[in-house]
Each structure stands twice: as C-alpha cells, then as structure tokens.
Structure 1
Amino acid sequence: MLNNKIDFIVTVTVNNANPNGDPLAGNMPRTDSKGFGEISDVCIKRKIRNRMQDQGYSIFVQSRDRIDDEKNSLEERYTDAIGAKVTDEAAEKEANEKWLDVRSFGQVITYNSKSIGIRGPVSIGIAKSLDPIEITSMQITRSTNGMKPKGDKTRSSDTMGTKHFVEFGTYIIYGAVNCFYAEKTGFSKKDLAVIKESLRTLFINDSSSARPEGSMEVKDIYWFTHSSKIGDVSSAKIKSLISYNSDNSMKSTYEDYAMGLNEEKLNEYKQLGLQVEHFAGI
C-alpha cells in the first residue's frame, strides 16, 4: 500500500529523430500552436507499457508487434482472461490483479456488454519542449521497385518520400502517483518500482527508422516523495521547481540548459516533509 504521494519530472533529449509523429500532419513531429514540440501522454505510456512487458509483467494494452498471448484484440484478451459471466466488481478486481498497466493507468472496459471505468493512480502529462523546435524534412528515395511492373512497362525505382525529424530538442515529462486511486486498483510499492525503472530505461528496445538507436535519451529524473497521501505541496508547485537557462540563445546540447531545481523553493518544501531523489536515465 502506498502512503506517500509521488511526483516526478523527467527530461528527455532528441537528436535527429521524430519523437512522436502526428498522423494528421504527414507524421511530422508534433508541435503546439506556438511551435513547441510535444510528445503525447499516450505515446509515453506506450513506451512504459513496453518496458513493463520487457520486465516480465502482464500487459493488457499490448502493441501489435509485441503481442505475447496470440490475442489480436483487447476484447479477445479480456474475454479469455476474465470471461463474460462475472459482475462488474469482479471484472474490475480481476483486471487490476492480472494486468500491471490497468492498475497503473486505468482502463475503460466496454466488452461483453459492460461499461467499467477504472481510474489509475499514475498520471502523465503531455511532454513539451523547452524551446520551439525546428523540423527538418528530408526527401528520400527507394532503390528498388515496390510493385511488379504491368506488362512491358517499366517502373521507376526512385519512388519519392519525405522523412521529418528534430535536429535537437529537450522535452520535459511531468507525472504523479495518487495514493487514493492506488488503494482502489491495488497498485503497490513494487509496482511503483517498476514505473521508476521503466522511466529510467524508457527508450530501451524503442528504436525505429524514425528514432534510431541512441537518438532519444532520458537525461535527468527528479523523484519527489511526499510525507503524506495527500502531498506536502501541490503537483503544480512541484512542476514550478524545474529551473533552466531560458534565454534566447541557440542551444545545441543538453548542457546548454544548465538544468536543475530551484533550491530556495525546494528547501522550503523540504521543511514541509518533501523528499527528492535525483538520478540519471540509462
């Protein structure tokens, strides 16, 4: 059982990669209306789920290329594990006990004529870049025919395409763990340790053509443990602790930001019982 509220801040660097493509914009890196880069909370949770699965835990929302139980839909996975003839309370209890991602993030279950909303204790916001990002677009060609030519016609092998990426950017992820929702789902200290390790190793086994190996890296993790279930200060005040070089100079490395915490505010919050742990990603 968790008796202490948790907040965490994670900084991530992107080097010549597309951290999260927007399908409505030709898969270009996501940006807000002011040009700041974004990584959706859904994308971050997907990576955490993958790391949970790598650590040997049962996951309900599995990625298509990571299915480990031959179930090709959530409905099939749910029905096979829990069945149709159970009460809503029993279904919720079994789902929380069986799948780590359900008792962590929650889940809406609408299978077998049910409508169950499970609210998970782990909340993660949309990651934002510290500065507006510059998106580079590169024209690419293919050196082979993708389709067999019809009849005597020949087909050009230089089919054109476009690849979009961020040359450099630093993003910040904010998250928290609610003790009261943890009690309802059965989220434990052991589960919390899995979340912590998943954040530390967030980009292990995550490489792709859009995110080559080593192009995304977790740099710093600030882990805040409150002295009570409700928290010593609000999560909004925890977010305001992050401190960095915000001048208008062009930044090309993580060190240019001089990332850290506001020591004056942090000492004030420590007097209220807040504890902070600082460690690096892998």
Structure 2
Amino acid sequence: MKFPELNPHQKHQIFYVVSAHNSNPNGDPVADNAPRTNPYSGHGVITAASIKRKVRDYIHEKYGDAPGMDIFIKHEDVMATVAAAALSKAGLQLGVGVSFTPDELGELLDAGLPEAFDVQGESVSYNGTLKNAELKKVMKGLAEAGVSDETRQKLEQLTSQKLEGADRKQLQKEARPVMAKSFIDARLFGYTAPDSAGKTRGPVQMTDAESLEPVNLLEQSITRVARSQPGEKEGNGNFGRRTVVDHAAYVATAHVNPALAKLQGVTSEDLTALLEGLWYGQEAARSSSRPDVRVEALVIVSHDSPYGNMPSHEVERRLSVQAGERHSYLVEYDQANLPEGVSVQIIR
C-alpha cells in the first residue's frame, strides 16, 4: 500500500472508517469488558485512546526504537522511567545535583549506581523514578558492596530533594522539545508525563469512533474441554461469557493542526507513519475477542489554509458510508463544488 505524503504545514481531516463483525472492537472494563456503547442512543463507541493504542503498537512493531520513532506510552512501561531516560540521554539534569568527593564517587561507581542516578562530573542527581521499596533495596546493595555509611546517608538525603519552582518550570520547558524529538507519539498526540517532562498538546487530535446505527450485542458462551489442573473433572467444566457486536460500521475523525505540527517538529514522514498505523493497526491487533475488525477506508481532506477552507462540520457532511452486500460497506466522498484549496484522497 502506498500512502500519500501529507504536508504537515496544512490542515488535514482524516476520516477513519472501520467495521466490526462478530467482534468486540473496544471493551468497557466497568461493564465486564462488553463492547462500549452510548447508553442514550445505543450506538457503538471505540474510544480515541483505543485507536491511538493501535497506531502506537503498529509503529513500535515496524520501527522499533529507531531514532525519533520510539513510543513514549508503551505496554507495562513506567512513563517516569521512560521520560527520565530520554531526558538524561539529552544531558538534562532531572533533580537537584549534590557534589560528592572523588573518593565517595569512586565508592558509588564501583558499587554500581542504578540509572535513576545521573553522574555529571563530581555531581550526582536523582530523577525520582524509584519506589521506596526499590530505594531501600539499592541502599542495602550499596552497603553490601562496601559503600561507607557517610556516603550512603548523603545519597539518601539526595533522594529526598526535588527541583522546585522556577527550576522545575525551566526543566519542563527544556524537556518538551526533547520528548517531541525522541517519541513519535509525543510529537503526534502530545503527552502528559510525570514530574520533569511536563505535558504538551499534540497536533493530531482524534475523536471517538461512533457507529452509524445502534449496535446489536450478542452474548456468547465459552467452554473449554482441556483441564488446567490434574484434579479437575473431565468434560465442559469451564464456562465463560463474552459479548460481541454482530455487524456495524464506525467513523472517527483525526484533525491535524499545522501550527502545533510545526511547533512539535512533525514531518511528512510522521504523518505517513500515522496513516500506516491507522490502516494496519486493527489488522495487527486481531485476537479471539476481535477476530474481524476491518478498516474500510481512510478519507483525507486537506486544506491549503491552516485554518481550513470550509468548516469541519461541512467537511463531515460530505462523507457517505452505505451498507452493501454480505456486511460490506461502501465509503464515498462528495467532491462536487468543493471550495478552492480543498483536496480529497481516499485509501480503500
């Protein structure tokens, strides 16, 4: 699949059309993981967070930790630790620096300091990412390695100090471009990080996907004939339930803000990676509960004005998604009498 090169200095609206077939496209954890629905209309919902998760996972799988293509929000990773590693690599001091004598530094370096401690010259700083239990373990290990009581006490005092006021604001100001340069999801979607890395708004803002019609939910029983323990009885003794959507089409919209794209350093390659993630992300996320969630089309409406050449709601009214045969969907976009400066590209 060849994806168009989008100019990050233009405004774009990307319509994301997906369909679910006997699948749970986005479970609700407070409703026994049943497919999300709008309780008032009965329409199905796929949250923007779920869509962006598919994009992140696809980009991480394809590009790994290539320069500038790493992912900030990963499964099971600690955001504070990931951010601290990126900022330390860029040479930013994340905590209050405390001076140690050459002999004290020698003790600490010989014993081996965790990555949470950054040594620059004769100064050591702490990024605050270790839990209390982890800190106790570190101190115990240093003691066992022969580090003196005085040096360990000095290090313990360091862990209780934090950047305050103007120093913290200055660090967050310096951290934002580092985060944007290091992580593509921070560049595209923005981020809210603990402590030193601050937060920023991304140029790509995604709406929830909502189904075109109210969805039919099907409850299914699950049985297992294999026994998990030797003492279990034979037969269909293990029962479970799951809920799926029978057939439904959903539409979400991604808005690309050119002013924020410029501020964050977003490139046309980043936007191509976004399109790839939208197109392939659902396929890469197939599972037993979501065996058939299809991306029907991406409709890209581009404006040569950074503020748009027509209102967003007028752009949306021209999109048409019609049910076809055998639970297929036909996606069309009315391009008649489009204002000057508006162009449309459809991927399907």
**TM-score with structure 1 setting the length:** 0.84
Q: Distance in 2 between matches of 1:145 and 1:183?
A: 57
Partner of 2:237: 158
1:104 equivalent in alignment to 2:194: no
State whether residues 2 and 188 of structure 1, in contact with CA within 8 Å, keep that contact through their aligned partners in structure 2.
yes
- The CA deviation at 1:211 is 1.2
- The CA deviation at 1:121 is 0.3
1:62 equivalent in alignment to 2:74: yes
Out of 331, 337, 340, the position equivalent to 1:268 is 337
When structure 1 is superposed on structure 2, of 84-93 and 34-43 the one drifting more is 84-93
1:208 equivalent in alignment to 2:290: no
Partner of 1:88: 172
Q: Name stretches of at least 5 consecutive residues in structure 1 with no aligned partner.
A: 65-71
State whether residues 283 and 293 of structure 2, in contact with CA within 8 Å, keep that contact through their aligned partners in structure 1.
no
Q: As a proportion of its length, which structure holds more helix? A: 2
**TM-score with structure 2 setting the length:** 0.69
Deviation by residue 1:64-111 (Cα, 9 ceiling, x = unmatched): 4xxxxxxx3111111122131471121111100000000100001223
The 5-angstrom pairing of residues 1-282 of structure 1 reads: 2-33=8-39, 34-56=41-63, 57-64=69-76, 72-83=77-88, 84-85=94-95, 87-111=171-195, 114=196, 116-146=198-228, 149=231, 158-212=237-291, 215-245=292-322, 253-255=327-329, 258-261=330-333, 263=334, 266-269=335-338, 271-280=339-348
Runs of 4+ off more than 3 Å: 144-149, 153-157
Larger radius of gyration: 2
State whether residues 143 and 157 of structure 1, in contact with CA within 8 Å, keep that contact through their aligned partners in structure 2.
yes
When structure 1 is superposed on structure 2, of 95-104 and 4-13 the one drifting more is 4-13
- The CA deviation at 1:159 is 2.3
Q: Distance in 1 between matches of 2:32 and 2:325?
A: 27
Q: Distance in 1 between matches of 2:223 and 2:264?
A: 50
State whether residues 11 and 257 of structure 2, in contact with CA within 8 Å, keep that contact through their aligned partners in structure 1.
yes
Residue type matched to 2:79 in 1? Answer: L
Q: Distance in 2 between matches of 1:241 and 1:224?
A: 11
Aligned length: 257
Q: Secondary structure at the match of 1:24?
A: helix
RMSD between aligned alpha carbons?
2.3
State whether residues 4 and 226 of structure 1, in contact with CA within 8 Å, keep that contact through their aligned partners in structure 2.
yes
State whether residues 145 and 157 of structure 1, in contact with CA within 8 Å, keep that contact through their aligned partners in structure 2.
no
Q: Distance in 2 between matches of 1:133 and 1:146?
A: 36
Q: Secondary structure at the match of 2:281?
A: coil
Q: Distance in 2 between matches of 1:160 and 1:201?
A: 33
Q: Secondary structure at the match of 1:104?
A: helix
